[in-house]
């Protein structure tokens, strides 16, 4: 169905009159099409050609409807705000596939021999090159992240190879001196026979400081911000009151969404296969040197019903900034619920240096390096808690399932942790951040079901830790023919001042020596089908009321 046919119904509806003071303003719907003309009037019959043109005259209440096709006009800049009751809406037409890209098609490849091809007079240091939609491996030191030192001689983005001599099947190299772009496809075939796209723009859409914008039914992909050391997403959001619904944000050279501001909602989106992270959220600003400040008001941001998978395909150092969601610093009042955060190279959900009233609930967090990582954070005055982490399924993490590191006031309750290397860990000490020794205190771990590969629960007992409680958790003791030999059976508790080694396998002795798990239990929880991540409890389960509960807060 084309744009004209699918949207003709909109012409039958009289313009809506919006009251602004004493005057009446007609809300408009402006249409954009790949076959349009920017000198046209923007109707269904005579659509515009670019989103940017449509936005120049957009005002509160207006809707920009984009027809099917691929648009390469990035960066699209928001220059106007909507209002709380009349947002500016940018949407794909009904049943149309609308793709906004920050890349350029690359043609005229010349054979350089032995499967190597090149394009002359390429003036952009492209960080991404795609063949038929799949990214090739970048070769060489090509951006500041390739050399920025972290610790222990780590760099943010470890480079692969040095120059054109290191190009192998499935990779590309940019020679900035000679302005040559090289590639070798996985099968060494002719790139002129494929769709080749190189990232060229720093982002796809830049919201600036504009507020009250709704995006829906759009796909944003490809950008090039890391060439200058940037960390932006294909979509950059600040201001207040953005709604991002049913969108796909993918194959950014860094993040899918980079976000600041408050009162945003992101729902029913796919945020997948981005270079470093799916979502980057910042609660601070330049006035505070992008550091944590205690008086930061709650942001009231909601992420719900998202798919966040396959991120950090460029292999940024996972202990720096990588994975599904990286939320840093001074973030306050965030809710993450009913999301599938899986198969990210890094942490699934990572809060770092944040404040309080953050809620992480009802998510599936599977097969990440660390599942849910909450570090060097503490509540501000007025926050009832730092974070509530509840009713999640945390599965198959390469490292910690739920990791509370050098933080205060976190509640971890009613989660099912299954086959993480270490299911729940309270540790990460000692840390000196924000000018003082961080505290690991006032954290509560209760009513979880644990089945860790090595250790179920780690509790640090050393300096700067106090008043942490673990009680009422259920330690799964099940026969699993498919489990690796190291999966802990029954209780695997570490009461430690050093590493994560199991110190207690007897709950009575643990309570007697350290006061933990007075009401803890061990046994078969009688899961319905754990291999299929169905952790419902069968009738007669001794773990009733504990662990993940289906549909607990829908």
Across residues 259-265, what is the average pLDDT?
97
Q: What angle do CA 313, 319, 322 make, to 5 degrees?
A: 35
| Residue ranges making up the domain that contains 87 | 3-101
Same domain, 188 and 210: no
Structural domain includes residue 91: yes
Domain stop point among 398, 426, 445: 398
Whether residue 186 is found in the same domain as residue 247: no
Give domain status of residue 545, yes or no.
no
Same domain, residue pair 242 and 389: yes
pLDDT at 8: 43
Taking only the tens place, the pLDDT of each residue in 202-227 is 999 999 999 999 999 999 999 999 99
Out of 13-27, 268-282, 307-321, least confident range: 13-27
Share of the chain above pLDDT 90, in %: 87
| Nearest alpha-carbon partner for 318 in 528, 489, 156 | 156
As given in the structure block, the two tokens for residue 539 are 């009738």
Per-residue model confidence (pLDDT) at position 7: 43
367 and 238 part of one domain:
yes
Q: Do 233 and 338 fall into the same domain?
A: yes
pLDDT tens sequence across 354-374 = 999 999 999 999 999 999 999
487 confidence band (pLDDT: 50, 70, 90): low
Instruction: Of 12-21, 161-170, 256-265, give the lowest mean pLDDT range.
Output: 12-21
CA distance 211 to 103: 26
Please check whether residues 149 and 19 belong to one and the same domain: no
316 and 224 in one domain?
A: yes
- Residue-wise pLDDT for 134-184, tens only, equals 999 999 999 999 999 998 889 999 999 999 999 999 999 999 999 999 999
Q: What is the pLDDT of residues 530-552, one digit of tens each?
A: 999 999 999 999 999 999 999 76
**pLDDT given for residue 153 in this prediction:** 87
Domain annotation covers residue 408 = no
**Same domain as 205, residue 190:** no
In a domain, 499, yes or no: no
Q: What is the pLDDT of residue 134?
A: 98
pLDDT of residue 285: 86
Q: How confident is the model at residue 5 (pLDDT cuts 50, 70, 90)?
A: very low
Clarify whether residues 64 and 123 are in a common domain: no
Count up the domains in the chain and report the number.
3
Which strands form 103-105's sheet, in the order they lie side by side? 103-105, 196-199, 129-131, 134-135
Asked if residue 56 and residue 194 are part of one domain, the reply reads no
pLDDT digits (tens, 9 = 90+) for 113-129: 999 999 999 999 999 99
Per-residue pLDDT reduced to its tens digit, 43-95: 999 999 999 999 998 999 999 999 999 999 989 999 999 999 999 999 999 99
Whether 122 maps to a domain, the answer reads yes
Q: Which of 73, 101, 129 is the last residue of a domain?
A: 101
Supply the mean pLDDT for the chain. Answer: 93
**How large a percentage of the chain has pLDDT more than 70?**
93
pLDDT, tens only, 427-478: 999 888 877 788 999 999 999 999 999 999 999 999 999 999 999 999 999 8
Residue 362, CB half-sphere, CA atoms under 13 Å: how many? 13
pLDDT of residue 464: 93
pLDDT at 347 over 50: yes
Q: Which residue has the higher pLDDT, 12 or 100?
A: 100
Query: Rounded to the nearest 5 degrees, what angle is found at the Cα of 224, between the Cα atoms of 237 and 212?
Result: 15
The answer to whether residue 268 is domain-embedded is yes
Q: Is cis: bond before 75, omega within 30 of 0?
A: yes
pLDDT at 444: 98
Sequence-distant (6+) residues with CB within 8 A of 518 are: 471, 511
**466 in any annotated domain:** no
Q: Based on the domain organization, do 114 and 221 belong to the same domain? A: no
pLDDT band at 483 (very low <50, low <70, confident <90, very high): low
Give the pLDDT confidence score for residue 481 in this predicted structure: 57
Q: Are residues 167 and 227 in the same domain?
A: no
Residue 486 confidence class, pLDDT cut points 50, 70, 90: low
Question: Is the whole-model pTM more than 0.85?
Answer: yes
Q: What is the pLDDT of residue 34?
A: 96
DSSP code of residue 343: S
In a domain, 486, yes or no: no
- Amino acid 552: pLDDT: 60
Residues 400 and 413: their CA atoms lie apart, in Å, by 16
- CATH of residue 224's domain is 2.160.20.10
Mean pLDDT of 501-512: 96
Which of 101, 129, 154 is at the close of a domain?
101
Q: How confident is the model at residue 479 (pLDDT cuts 50, 70, 90)?
A: confident
Strand extents, DSSP E, 288-427: 301-304, 307-309, 323-327, 334-337, 340-342, 347-352, 358-361, 364-366, 370-375, 387-390, 393-395, 400-405, 410-413, 416-418, 422-427
């Amino acid at each position: 169905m084309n744009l004209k046919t699918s949207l003709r119904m909109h012409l039958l509806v009289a313009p809506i009159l919006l009251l602004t003071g004493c005057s009446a303003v007609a809300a408009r719907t402006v249409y954009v099409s790949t076959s349009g003309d920017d000198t046209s009037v923007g109707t269904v019959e005579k659509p515009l050609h670019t989103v940017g043109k449509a936005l120049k005259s957009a005002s509160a209440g207006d809707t920009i409807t984009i027809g099917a096709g691929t648009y390469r006009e990035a960066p699209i800049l928001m220059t106007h705000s909507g209002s709380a009751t009349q947002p500016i809406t940018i949407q794909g037409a009904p049943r149309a596939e609308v793709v906004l890209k920050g890349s350029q098609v690359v043609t005229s490849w010349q054979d350089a021999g032995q499967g190597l091809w090149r394009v002359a007079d390429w003036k952009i240091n492209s960080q991404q090159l795609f063949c038929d939609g799949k990214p090739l491996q970048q070769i060489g030191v090509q951006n500041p992240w390739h050399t920025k030192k972290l610790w222990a001689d780590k760099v943010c983005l470890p480079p692969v190879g040095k120059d054109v001599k290191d190009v192998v099947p499935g990779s590309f190299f940019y020679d900035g001196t000679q302005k040559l772009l090289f590639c070798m496809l996985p099968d060494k075939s002719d790139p002129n026979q494929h769709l080749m796209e190189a990232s060229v723009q720093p982002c796809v859409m830049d919201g600036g400081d504009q507020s009250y914008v709704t995006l829906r039914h759009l796909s944003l992909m490809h950008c090039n911000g890391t060439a200058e050391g940037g960390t932006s997403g294909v979509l950059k959001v600040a201001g207040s009151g953005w709604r991002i619904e049913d969108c796909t944000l993918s194959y950014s050279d860094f993040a899918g969404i980079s976000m600041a501001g408050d009162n945003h909602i992101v729902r029913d989106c796919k945020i997948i296969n981005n270079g470093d992270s799916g979502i980057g959220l910042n609660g601070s600003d330049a006035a505070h040197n992008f550091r944590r400040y205690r008086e930061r008001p709650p942001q009231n941001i909601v992420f719900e019903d998202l798919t966040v998978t396959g991120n950090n395909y460029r292999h940024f150092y996972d202990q720096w900034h990588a994975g599904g969601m990286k939320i840093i610093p001074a973030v306050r009042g965030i809710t993450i619920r009913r999301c599938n955060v899986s198969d990210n190279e890094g942490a699934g959900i990572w809060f770092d240096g944040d404040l309080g009233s953050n809620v992480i609930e009802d998510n599936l967090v599977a097969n990440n390096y660390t599942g849910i990582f909450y570090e060097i954070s503490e509540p501000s005055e007025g926050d009832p808690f730092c974070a509530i982490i509840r009713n999640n399924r945390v599965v198959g993490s390469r490292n910690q399932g739920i990791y509370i590191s050098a933080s205060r006031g976190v509640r971890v309750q009613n989660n099912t942790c299954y086959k993480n290397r270490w299911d729940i860990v309270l540790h990460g000490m000692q840390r000196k951040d924000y000018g003082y020794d961080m505290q690991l205190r006032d954290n509560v771990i209760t009513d979880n079901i644990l089945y860790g590969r090595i250790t179920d629960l780690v509790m640090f007992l050393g300096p700067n830790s106090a008043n942490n409680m673990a009680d009422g958790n259920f330690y799964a003791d099940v026969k699993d023919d498919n489990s690796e030999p190291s999966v802990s059976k029954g209780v695997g508790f570490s009461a430690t001042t050093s590493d994560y080694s199991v110190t207690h396998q007897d709950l009575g002795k643990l309570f007697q020596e350290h006061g933990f798990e007075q009401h803890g239990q061990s046994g078969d929880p009688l899961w319905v089908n754990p291999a299929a991540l169905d952790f419902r409890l069968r009738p007669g389960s001794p773990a009733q009321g504990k662990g993940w509960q289906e549909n607990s807060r829908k």
